[in-house]
Amino acid sequence: MLAWTLAFAAGIYCLLQFSTMPSLWVLLILPLLFLLIRYFSVFRLILIFCLGFSWALLRIGADVSHPLHPDIESRTVQLMGTVSSLPVIYDDHVQFLFDVNDVVDNQQHHFKSPGIIRLNWYKTKVVPAPGETWLLIAKLKRPYSFMNPGGFDYETWMMRQGIKATGYVKESKTNQKLKESNGYLIQRLRYKLSQEIKNKIDKPLLGLVLALSLGDRSQLYTNQWQVLTHTGTNHLIAISGLHLGLIAGLIYFLSKTIWRQFYFATQAIPAPIIASALAFVGAFIYAALAGFSLPTQRALIMIAVFLLGLLSSRRLLVSNVVCVAVVLILLLDPFSILAADFWLSFTAVILILYITRYRYSNQSRLRRWLQLQCLLSFALSPFLIFWFKQFPLYSIFANLIAIPTIGFIIVPLVLLAMILLLPFPRAAEFIYGLVDRISNLQWSFLDLLSQQHSAIIPVASTNKVSLIIAIIGILILLMPKGLPGRWLGLVFLLPLLFPIASNLNQGEFDFSLLDVGQGLSAVIQTRQNTLVYDAGARFSERFNIGDAVIKPYLRNQGVTELSLLMISHGDNDHIGGANSIIEQFKIDRVLSSVPKKISISTDEHCHAGQKWLWDGVEFEVLHPSIGSGFTGNNASCVLKVSSQHGSVLLTGDIEQAAEKSLINNMPEQIKVDILLAPHHGSKTSSSNEFIATIAPEYAVISAGYRNRFGFPKQDIMSRYEAHGVETLITFMTGEISMKFSAAGLVIEQFRSKNRRFWHH
């Protein structure tokens, strides 16, 4: 059973590595394999592998075959559809999912519905409720994500959620609610409950209650997320296998205990049957309240399989039960195999079985619980390091308190309060008050842990081979006591904890232009130093490029401190993520043309003439000159990086006036191999004279997909082409990596290298 399950999963995983969708003709191999297994049993595993591959091809192919029609992308269209999710209310806009029935453009041409889309409605007092049918004027575009090493794959996440497009509602008198829908009953109930909860309690308790009762985490503060992340307890705020399992287990225990007290009832229906049925019903209702999110769907399948295993008259191997659950989940959602929570859930179950098999004897329940928690946290650490590139040092202590507090006290109380909310609101308010007092005590403890030194230990990116070796080490360390040589398991952890870095030699350097949308951020690494040039944009209190792109990239590269942070000028798309980087990393020096806008006391102005040498690589600021009088874009710090292997010029957002100054004052110094095109390829920059003077081999441009400015302008692209300069644009290439070494210039485009068939 285990071998078959692994073969089926491997087939699905294999398909998900393709950069283009395979042809359905490959399905023709299945009849041949069915024929061969009649004569050669060795082909059985190959058949199971091909069945997994084929199922994923059919299942995922159906999802990716109906994207948003390109003719209406970024054009104003009229949509008719139904709100299909809880609306998320932010300071300046409302966000919701919209199930589109009809799409009409300005010429009254009808287009095929893309299905579920996600809309933002800015500066509106209207909050569309689930089940309402609306007529809306909007602009749409296909899901598009930043593509950088270590970054979050937003396109894959959107595909898994079934969201085919994103967009925003335009102000128009045409926007109107048409009717209420009879469908979306669960979402309408969730919305009514959320409104009642919001009327009864305030933040910060509101965020916790909504997250644990309805799966709505939009009301959690940023600092709450930081505390949860630093203590390794953020998994407790997502309704998933742990919560549904605890609720199902609690219902199973209580109902079985109570049912056994009635003799005639047990004669009609045995206690295990009624307990299992009620446990599943309870878990099902809780999953419905959470909106049947993908983690809750997986958890429901696991619970159903385990309950059926308990009821089976035959003695079943737990491993077989786990295998059945894995196969059913992959049949429902083949994309699950790429999700960290999928692996963590099943790994946790397997490790619990492995730990409890050898280590418990006549210990008290409390001691067994404490030992299990400590060993499980330790055993899961390689997976946390592999997936998240960091390890919360105090997670063991935090989870020892948080898991029983949230799982056995807060969650049951929150659900009880929600049951009483509509018929007995005062009783619900009393319970919420009790939850508030309990959560405050727990939160004080978590906050204390999160503020300790080195609460989060960053770890450089590691590969799958290092993870497999580490798993072997964990299994050796958790073997029965008294087994000689168990300490050797620690040796197997070393490749994961201390990955071998590809060190640069003296005089070599890496230049990476990150994909940050409409903004700019670049990283330059020498043998022992790292420089970050600009920090992208800050979009809201919850989201900025520093946290979303630059930090994961640097962690992925094993960078824990910066030698220099340079902010070219004060526009949001260049400085927005700076404060986040300053908070997350130790920085030796900060240079900027707008030092007063940066929250650090050691900053200084950049100006022409500043030079330094790192590991055989020369750095020189060429602009602005002291007293030049340039302001705004034209005051951008211009940095030249050069060595015997090549050179790069980083220009910020300078325009033609600053370009002319550079041409007149230092025409030879600005000659480089790679030019970071000024101002994202706008018409105010990249003059013919400037390009001709620099004479670069490549021009790299940082611009966002379908950005509202239309950068880079086609005239500018033609201008570079006329000068024989090859151009690369981040929204097409993803992160652009250029390594200057003795072997010559090596260029890698992250999107091309890591593209999968569902990517843009």
Alpha carbon 359 to its chain centroid, in Å, reads: 36
Q: Which residues contact 426 (CB under 8 A, 6 or more apart)?
A: none
- By the 10 Å C-beta count (0-12 exposed, 13-18 middle, 19+ buried), 444 is classed as exposed
CA atoms within 13 A on the CB side of 23: 4
Hey, is 750 helix, strand or coil?
helix
Task: Return the exposure string of 214-244: e unless at least 16 CB atoms fall within 10 Å of the residue's CB, then b.
Answer: bbbbebbeeebebbbbbbbbbbbbbbbbbbb
Whether the Cβ atoms of residue 667 and residue 693 lie closer than 8 Å to each other: yes
Whether the Cβ atoms of residue 82 and residue 184 lie closer than 8 Å to each other: yes
CA atoms within 13 A on the CB side of 717: 11
Whether the Cβ atoms of residue 435 and residue 410 lie closer than 8 Å to each other: yes
Within 10 A of 162 (CB to CB), how many other CB atoms are there?
11
Alpha carbon 312 to its chain centroid, in Å, reads: 39
**Domain ranges in the chain?**
2-64, 70-183, 191-458, 464-497, 509-754
Whether the Cβ atoms of residue 395 and residue 232 lie closer than 8 Å to each other: yes
CA atoms within 13 A on the CB side of 694: 30
Q: What is the DSSP string of 146-208?
A: ---TT---HHHHHHHHTEEEEEEEPP-TT-EEEEE-S--HHHHHHHHHHHHHHHH--TTHHHH
pLDDT for 359 equals 61
Dihedral sign for Cα 429, 433, 439, 444, please.
Answer: positive
pLDDT for 601 equals 62
Whether the Cβ atoms of residue 86 and residue 292 lie closer than 8 Å to each other: no
Hey, is 595 helix, strand or coil?
helix
Hey, is 592 helix, strand or coil?
strand
Within 10 A of 12 (CB to CB), how many other CB atoms are there?
25
Whether the Cβ atoms of residue 490 and residue 505 lie closer than 8 Å to each other: no
pLDDT for 553 equals 94
In degrees, rounded to 5, the angle at the alpha carbon of residue 663 between the alpha carbons of residues 725 and 591 is 90
At residue 472, what is the residue type? I
CATH 2.40.50 fits 70-183, yes or no: yes
Q: What is the DSSP string of 698-744?
A: EEEE---TT-TT-PSPHHHHHHHHHTT-EEEEHHHHSSEEEEEETTE
Whole-angstrom distance, CA of residue 376 vs CA of residue 358? 14
Q: What is the DSSP string of 605-663?
A: E--TT-EEEETTEEEEEEEPPTT----GGGG--EEEEEETTEEEEE-TT--HHHHHHHH
Whether the Cβ atoms of residue 497 and residue 530 lie closer than 8 Å to each other: no
- Taking phi first (over 0 means left), then psi (-120 to 50 degrees means alpha), and beta for anything else, what does residue 389 get? left
Whole-angstrom distance, CA of residue 724 vs CA of residue 698? 9
Q: Which residues contact 305 (CB under 8 A, 6 or more apart)?
A: 321, 324, 325, 328
In degrees, rounded to 5, the angle at the alpha carbon of residue 435 between the alpha carbons of residues 432 and 439 is 140
Whole-angstrom distance, CA of residue 450 vs CA of residue 532? 27
CA atoms within 13 A on the CB side of 180: 4
User: In the 3-class helix/strand/coil scheme, how is 539-558 assigned residue by residue?
Assistant: CCCCCEHHHHHHHHHHHHCC
Whole-angstrom distance, CA of residue 222 vs CA of residue 234? 12
Whole-angstrom distance, CA of residue 679 vs CA of residue 323? 54
Look up tokens 């300078």; give the residue: 654
Which residue, 752, 702, 690, is CA-closest to 727? 702
DSSP bridge partners of 390: 458
Whether the Cβ atoms of residue 311 and residue 276 lie closer than 8 Å to each other: yes
Whole-angstrom distance, CA of residue 735 vs CA of residue 116? 29
pLDDT for 484 equals 77
CA atoms within 13 A on the CB side of 657: 10
CATH architecture of 509-754: 4-Layer Sandwich (3.60)
Terminal alpha carbon distance of the chain: 37
pTM value is 0.88
Convert the pLDDT of each residue in 341-379 to its tens digit.
888 888 888 888 787 776 655 667 777 777 777 888 888
Q: Please list the ranges in the chain whose pLDDT falls under 70.
A: 65-66, 313-316, 358-363, 500-502, 601-603
Whether the Cβ atoms of residue 214 and residue 192 lie closer than 8 Å to each other: no
Whole-angstrom distance, CA of residue 35 vs CA of residue 55? 19
Alpha carbon 755 to its chain centroid, in Å, reads: 17
At residue 332, what is the residue type? L
Kindly give the pairing relationship between strand 698-701 and strand 674-676.
Answer: parallel
Hey, is 330 helix, strand or coil?
helix
Length of the chain: 760
Which residue, 336, 348, 340, 256, is CA-closest to 301? 336
Which residue, 119, 87, 334, is CA-closest to 214? 87
Whole-angstrom distance, CA of residue 230 vs CA of residue 225? 8
Alpha carbon 471 to its chain centroid, in Å, reads: 24
CA dihedral 157, 163, 169, 175 (to 10 degrees): -150
